[in-house]
């Protein structure tokens, strides 16, 4: 008994020591890996703000280049770790190998930080993907050079190591500023039993501004950002707050709180991440009182996607809305701010409604938006400069009344930009206005008389007019021939450093002069990113020609039917189809009066250096002279194989005649076969061939065999169905080009989702092979 009593103080002392060790272990950095990317190999330091020990990343990766952000961005840096970085101009995929001491089965907070700071002097914000091992983590997209990005995940390790990989997706060089691992204990975040947790936000309420709370206040080094909610009152206590629960938040965070400013108002906090879209769509339905059958999830299940909605599906993410068509839905009022939540939207059609007010600037911040149609509304004021800038760069197809793709000179419809104050001064200005009107009439008469005397009347002078001798110099005396047609010959030329194509009228062409006038006048009056642009014209006595932008990759037919050309993949074919459809849709629905092309075919679809497609050759185009006219009677024109048989038989020209021709273009894109195939002594149109193959029910029998089955079957089937609908015998059964654009975009989205999934799977396979190679199974 005495012996036992002698051990009691020793046991108590030992217990106190063990308790002290455990407490200390929870507050030390034994479960941390803290990497400052880009500092000198072998170096380390203790951060003077957080007291966290950081080491060089050289021992974790064997590729990349080290850089420093520019000094001008020093004032934007919150942390020392954002000063340096490692970039990866080589290799598609570069991976850090991290081996925490505790390893497999343990739960970790993993954080990666990125600060561009124009380190490469290019001033071009990169975009790239980040993977955790074989699994897609996120895509890095910067808002500015000075704004850092932090991404964080809570993850249970399935082995004694993990990889953080940066993947080049062709949109800029990947880089990283810091990587941090923090061991979590106990039952914290046990939701990871069902998958990793991606951080949306971690906020401390009741603080409008201030520093981010992290280690040592939070022993797990979580980042708590200050956040002030409107119409609330902040609360604070100086007492220590007991925060013992499964999430173990620091006392400094829990000492602040908020309460509603008014006692009769509830506290509603909406932290919608913007990637799930049910709330955004319900907001639209409520704002505009839509009667659509919008119930449940907009994107799931796929068979019941909401009307007018297109989604992209990926195994590693929730479905995202990428297309929203609210055209002709009777929308009133302004553009709802809920649209800002659709951060992945690519196509947004708000045309032909009664929308008013200003076009909001938040549309410029939708980074993936490629097609925005605002036509047929009553907006006031200018289009936001951000949208016009994107349109002028070619990254956005922007349609609005009065202009096309972003000419800032007149961004409003004819009467929509009037200052509301005008109504107050109408009476005093009547006399002045009358005088001005008389003067204007006189000036117009004088101008008309002058124009009739000018050589080559009928062409406006908004574009530069060239003499024949100037055209000779531009083409180096017509040295390089790009192509020939019924109209004449197309030559390569240069105006300064700009390459151009010069189409000269053939003297033997009976209809040439008429076609020349038609094409030149049309190109002078329409502007669209998917129509070839007019550079100038020549109307010098017997020499007539049109100078337009040079399309480096020639025409579509060459790439589909010429065996010497590289094979266009399915995604690129769909993108080209979408581009051409947009151009045709603009002629039909964006021009007043509407214009029918009359010669839509593959060799009238030209491709620039980026394989962006543009409609060309408007010599046969016809405008409907008055609103409401359903057709015009005219002589038949077009190309065999693409020519609408209804138009050929009745001489009745409608927009659906172009739709038929475009359907043939789609069939050529799909099959890689010409519009007409000669078999024995018979000429078989492509729609007959496809119709025969449809009966077999095998999409691989229809799609170009050169693709070797590398396409999404659903996307291909839908494209075939769309093409066959376009070539329906009865024009009324054919879709409009607006409907064609929507359907084609949907096909493209489906194919891109497959490509991304395939890329993710391939990356995972590569990662698996890499891990097996470095960690062989013991024998």
| Among 105, 107, 108, 126, CA closest to 117 | 126
Spatial neighbors of 358 by CB under 8 A, at least 6 apart, are 334, 379, 380, 381
Task: Write out the two tokens for 595.
Answer: 């214009």
> Which residue do the tokens 């010669």 mark?
599
Cα separation, 320 vs 298, whole angstroms: 9
Q: Which residue has the tokens 């069902």?
A: 194
Residues 6 or more apart whose Cβ sits within 8 Å of residue 121: 70
CA dihedral 147, 148, 149, 154 (to 10 degrees): -140
- DSSP E strand boundaries for 15-143: 32-36, 44-46, 53-56, 65-68, 84-87, 93-98, 107-114, 127-132, 135-141
Q: Which of 371, 401, 599, 617 is catalytic?
A: 599
- Rg over alpha carbons for the chain, rounded to the nearest Å, is 33
Cβ-based burial of 244 (10 A; exposed 0-12, middle 13-18, buried ≥19): exposed
Q: Is the peptide bond before 678 cis (omega within 30 degrees of 0)?
A: no
Please enumerate in sequence order all residues whose Cβ is within 8 A of that of 646, keeping only pairs 6 or more positions apart, or say none: 652, 656, 657, 660, 729, 730, 731
73 to 83, 144, 176, 225: CA distances (angstroms): 9, 11, 17, 21
Whole-angstrom Cα distance, residue 297 to residue 158? 33
Which two structure tokens, joined as six digits, stand for 308?
A: 């007018």
Distance in angstroms (rounded) separating the CA atoms of residues 537 and 471: 9
| Residue 640: other Cβ atoms inside 10 A | 11
Strands 397-399 and 371-373: parallel
DSSP 157: -
- Asked if 590 and 528 touch (Cβ cutoff 8 Å), the reply is yes
The 3-state secondary structure of 268-312, one letter per residue: CCCCCCCCCCHHHHHHHHHHHCCCCCCCCCCCCCHHHCCCCEEEE
Q: What is the DSSP secondary-structure string of 184-238?
A: --TTTTGGGGGS-EE----EEET-SS-PPB-TTTSTT---BEEE--TTEEEEE--
Cβ neighbours of residue 690 under 8 Å, at least 6 residues apart? 667, 670, 671, 702, 720, 723, 724
Sheet harboring 175-176: ordered strands across?
A: 65-68, 84-87, 175-176
Is 599 one of the catalytic residues? yes
Rounded CA-CA distance 345/325 in Å is: 11
DSSP state of 71: G
What is the C-alpha separation between 749 and 760, in angstroms, rounded?
Answer: 16
Residue 519 neighbours by CB distance under 10 Å: 24
Looking at the annotation, which residues are catalytic? 599
């Amino acid at each position: 008994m005495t012996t036992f009593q002698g051990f009691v103080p020793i046991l108590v002392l030992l217990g106190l020591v063990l308790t002290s060790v455990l407490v200390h272990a929870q507050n030390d950095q034994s479960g941390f890996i803290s990497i400052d990317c880009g500092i000198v190999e072998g170096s380390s330091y203790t951060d003077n703000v957080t007291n966290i020990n950081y080491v060089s990343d050289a021992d974790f990766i064997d590729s990349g280049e080290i850089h420093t952000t520019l000094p001008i961005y020093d004032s934007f840096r919150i942390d020392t770790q954002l000063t340096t970085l490692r970039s990866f101009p080589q290799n598609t995929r570069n991976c850090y190998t991290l081996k925490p001491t505790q390893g497999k089965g343990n739960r970790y907070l993993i954080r990666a930080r990125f600060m561009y700071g124009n380190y490469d002097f290019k001033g071009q914000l990169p975009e790239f993907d980040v993977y955790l091992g074989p699994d897609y983590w996120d895509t890095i997209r910067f808002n500015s050079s000075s704004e850092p990005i932090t991404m964080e995940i809570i993850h249970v390790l399935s082995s004694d190591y993990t990889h953080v990989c940066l993947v080049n997706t062709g949109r800029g060089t990947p880089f990283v500023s810091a990587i941090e691992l923090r061991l979590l204990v106990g039952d914290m975040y046990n939701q990871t039993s069902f998958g990793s947790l991606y951080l949306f936000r971690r906020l401390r309420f009741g603080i409008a501004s201030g520093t981010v709370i992290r280690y040592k206040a939070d022993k797990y080094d979580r980042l708590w950002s200050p956040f002030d909610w409107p119409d609330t009152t902040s609360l604070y206590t100086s007492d220590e707050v007991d925060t013992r629960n499964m999430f173990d938040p620091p006392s400094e965070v829990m000492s602040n709180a908020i309460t509603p400013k008014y006692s009769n108002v509830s506290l509603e906090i909406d932290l919608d991440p913007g990637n799930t879209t049910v709330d955004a769509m319900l907001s639209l339905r409520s704002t505009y009182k839509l009667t659509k059958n919008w119930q449940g999830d907009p994107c799931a299940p796929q068979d019941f996607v909401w009307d007018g909605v297109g989604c992209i599906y990926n195994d590693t993410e929730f479905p995202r809305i990428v297309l929203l068509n609210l055209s002709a839905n009777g929308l009133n009022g302004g553009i709802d701010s809920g649209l800002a939540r659709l951060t992945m939207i690519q196509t947004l059609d708000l045309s032909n409604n009664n929308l008013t007010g200003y076009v909001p600037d938040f549309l410029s911040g939708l980074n993936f938006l490629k097609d925005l149609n605002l036509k047929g509304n009553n907006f006031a004021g200018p289009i936001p400069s951000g949208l016009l800038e994107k349109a002028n760069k070619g990254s956005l197809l922007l349609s609005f009344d009065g202009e096309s793709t972003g000419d800032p000179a007149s961004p409003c419809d004819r009467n929509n930009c009037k200052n509301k104050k005008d109504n107050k001064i109408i009476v005093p200005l009547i006399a002045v206005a009358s005088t001005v009107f008389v003067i204007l009439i006189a000036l117009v008469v004088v101008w008309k008389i002058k124009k009739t005397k000018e050589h080559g009347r009928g062409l406006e002078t908004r574009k530069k007019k060239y003499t024949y001798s100037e055209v000779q110099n531009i083409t180096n005396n017509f040295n390089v021939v790009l192509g020939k047609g019924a109209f004449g010959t197309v030559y390569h030329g240069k105006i300064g450093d700009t390459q151009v194509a010069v189409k000269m009228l053939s003297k033997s062409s009976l209809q040439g002069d008429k076609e020349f006038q038609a094409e030149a006048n049309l190109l002078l009056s329409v502007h669209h990113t998917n129509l070839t642009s007019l550079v100038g014209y020549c109307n010098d006595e017997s020499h007539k020609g049109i100078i337009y932008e040079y399309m480096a990759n020639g025409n579509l037919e060459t790439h589909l039917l010429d065996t010497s050309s590289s094979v266009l993949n399915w995604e690129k074919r769909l993108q080209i189809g979408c581009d051409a459809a947009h151009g045709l849709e603009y002629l039909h629905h964006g021009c007043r009066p509407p214009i029918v092309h009359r010669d839509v075919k593959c060799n009238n679809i030209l491709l620039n250096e980026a394989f962006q497609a543009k409609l060309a050759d408007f010599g046969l185009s016809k405008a409907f002279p008055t609103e409401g006219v359903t057709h015009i009677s005219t002589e038949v024109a077009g190309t065999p194989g693409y020519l609408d048989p209804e138009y050929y038989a009745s001489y009745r020209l409608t927009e659906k005649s172009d739709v038929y021709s475009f359907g043939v273009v789609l069939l050529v894109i799909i099959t890689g076969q010409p519009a007409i195939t000669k078999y024995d002594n018979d000429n078989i149109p492509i729609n007959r061939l496809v119709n025969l193959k449809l009966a077999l029910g095998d999409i691989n029998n229809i799609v170009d065999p050169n693709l070797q089955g590398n396409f999404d079957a659903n996307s291909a089937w839908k494209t075939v169905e769309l093409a066959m609908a376009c070539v329906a015998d009865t024009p009324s059964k054919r879709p409009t080009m607006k409907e064609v654009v929507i359907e084609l975009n949907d096909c493209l989205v489906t194919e891109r989702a497959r490509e991304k999934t395939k890329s993710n799977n391939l990356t995972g396979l590569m990662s698996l092979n890499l891990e097996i190679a470095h960690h062989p199974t013991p024998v």
